[in-house]
Amino acid sequence: MADISVAIEKLCYGGSGLGRVEGKACFVPFTAPGDRARVRVVKEKRSYLEGELVELEVPSALRTAPPCPLFGVCGGCDWQHLPYPEQVTQKGEIFAESLRRIGKLGEVEILPVIASPNAFGYRSRIQIKIAREAGVLQTGFFMTGSHKVVDCPQGCPIAHPLLNRMTSELRPLLAGLAEARFIPQIDLSIGDDEQGLAVVHYRGGDAGALARRLSAARADLPSIGGLLLRKGERGAPEPVFGIEALRYRIPAGLLNGRDELVLRFSRGGFSQVNYLQNLQLIRTVVQWAALSGGERVLDLFCGNGNFSLPLAGFAREVVGVEGYAPSIEDAVANAAANGVANASFRVSDVAAAVRKLASRGERFDLVVLDPPRAGAEAAGEIARLRPAHIIYVSCDPATLARDLGTLCAGGYRVVRSQPVDMFPQTYHLESVTELVLAD
């Protein structure tokens, strides 16, 4: 098919701009509402087209210059060509449409998106990909739509500056390290106190020699407070030097005058990438829970206790369930360190745990869930527990809408939903949604 001219109407989940060609939807990455673009069709289906941008015939007045020279090549960002307020507007519209179209939810109160205070420099963790191109070390991120590594010596503008310093310190070490050919990735994370932790993934045969070499180089890595080595695809990270966990604070006064909580996460455990926006999630969950002190709460996909422990200050009992054992170890340690005695945690597949709880006839006043991007397999099972109140934290509007549809079919009603922009410069969006038992 010859190149076609497309007028871009809006943005869609997935990051592409949407136009129409003879009635068919046409999705084009890196376009903006108001663009007229010359587009090359790369995929044609019965009801839609996918295209690539060839030329901007008439650029949108919304466009702005991307600050990153790798934008459009590196696969990390989708919308650096748009001013941040427009990104927030588009995310709100995409979120509302997802709930209506996929969840068939009709009229639901959707609150305005809570924008991130930092549009750049907000990420607290990144994955550095490593490869060699013509014998030259490449350290950066995957190219859009591929596993080819884009070298990023200048650092990443959405990463916290400390993560970029950590990367710049690692680059010369890796360049002179023979074992670097067996290192496909290094995970870098920071706590909100700006302590830095690196996890080196290793696929070679002499982890001991590599550990000794990395330990000897500690003085050349002043921004890295701790380094761990992960052997093979599924090995647990093992300490090489320094700290083994990171921490973040839930400050005093955030939750109705409660004391500060300090939570750790370690050994590959999950944490939100935007600490300031994580506080918005916690505040929303606790406020909407509206606990009076006598309730029993079930926290599914509880991780290190990110929601469990703040909620425990207002509940009779909190039970947390998580499938990743090191995160449960963190949750137990966090409860002890913060003097929380009414929270217990168990390692289990979440869907299996919910089925077991339901079969035993256990009851909870509130269920909180924060599943991964794939959503909650347990959504249908949660309705069997018959909690009066459900709060669903999601990082994917499409799977959220699907699961809300399941819960509504099980007797629940969506009260309201609060989008929270955890991921500026991308199409991704976090949200908190409240459900209650229908009358």
> How many CA within 13 A on the CB side of residue 84?
15
Other CB atoms closer than 10 Å to residue 191's CB: what's the count? Answer: 23
Among candidate residues 402, 395, 398, the one with its CA nearest the CA of residue 431 = 395
The rounded distance, in Å, linking the Cα atoms of 297 and 294 is: 10
Q: What are phi and psi of 116, to 5 degrees?
A: -75, 135
Please give the biggest Cα pair distance in the chain. Answer: 67
Helix (H) or strand (E) holding 96: helix 84-101
Cβ proximity of 275 and 329 under 8 Å: no
b vs e for 334-361, b when ≥16 Cβ sit within 10 Å of the residue's Cβ? bbeebebeebebeebebbebbeebbeee
Helix (H) or strand (E) holding 406: helix 397-409
Residue numbers annotated as active site: 395
Residues in the chain: 439
Cβ proximity of 319 and 305 under 8 Å: no
The rounded distance, in Å, linking the Cα atoms of 75 and 124 is: 18
* Alpha helices in 316-378, H assignment, sequence order: 325-337, 350-359
| Order of strands, sheet of 125-133, starting from the edge strand that comes earlier in the sequence | 149-151, 136-142, 125-133, 185-190, 196-202, 226-231, 238-242
The rounded distance, in Å, linking the Cα atoms of 424 and 317 is: 36
Cβ proximity of 307 and 340 under 8 Å: no
